[in-house]
Amino acid sequence: MEHFQRICREAGAKLTPQRLEIFREVAVTGDHPDAETIYRRVRERMPTVSLDTIYRTLWLLVDLGIIQTLGAGRERARFDANLDPHHHFVCVKCGSTRDFYSKDFDELALPDSLREIGRVDATHVEARGVCLDCAGKGATPPGPKTTIV
């Protein structure tokens, strides 16, 4: 929270209770919530918060470099406050998204053909499969089939 507050102060962004609560929700959850999920959760504690405030705050936090988005585009984007190098497991049944860490994936060599497309600023691996909850407690999910996105 101190990092969040310092960045906001340096950028001249007001530290409103709504902004603090929205950032806290993204930072403390490990499920990479979308804006509507954040809205429902924050509204339990702050009934007067609007969905518009959630969206405006999330995009402000992205612009400040405090959080990042997952997935393509701004439609149903998921948000992640973990800026350390990490990767994601996405359940294809329930949509849950969880962090995992891998030095091997962090050090993947990028193909030269990427230079023909553009400059790469960041990479991450997204593994898709069935989480243990959806597969049944103690069951091994079918697989392996990993997609690098």
pLDDT computed for residue 149 by the predictor: 46
Count the Cβ atoms, other than its own, within 10 Å of residue 89. 17
Residue whose C-alpha is closest to residue 80's, from 100, 94, 51 = 100
Helix (H, G, I), strand (E, B) or coil at 56: helix
Residue-averaged pLDDT of the chain:
85
Domains and CATH numbers, the chain: 2-80 (1.10.10.10), 87-135 (3.30.1490.190)
State how far the Cα of 102 lies from the Cα of 85, in Å rounded to an integer: 9
pLDDT computed for residue 139 by the predictor: 46
Residues of the chain with pLDDT under 70: 71-76, 137-149
pLDDT computed for residue 94 by the predictor: 81
pLDDT computed for residue 128 by the predictor: 83
Run of H or E including 36:
helix 35-45
Model pTM? 0.60
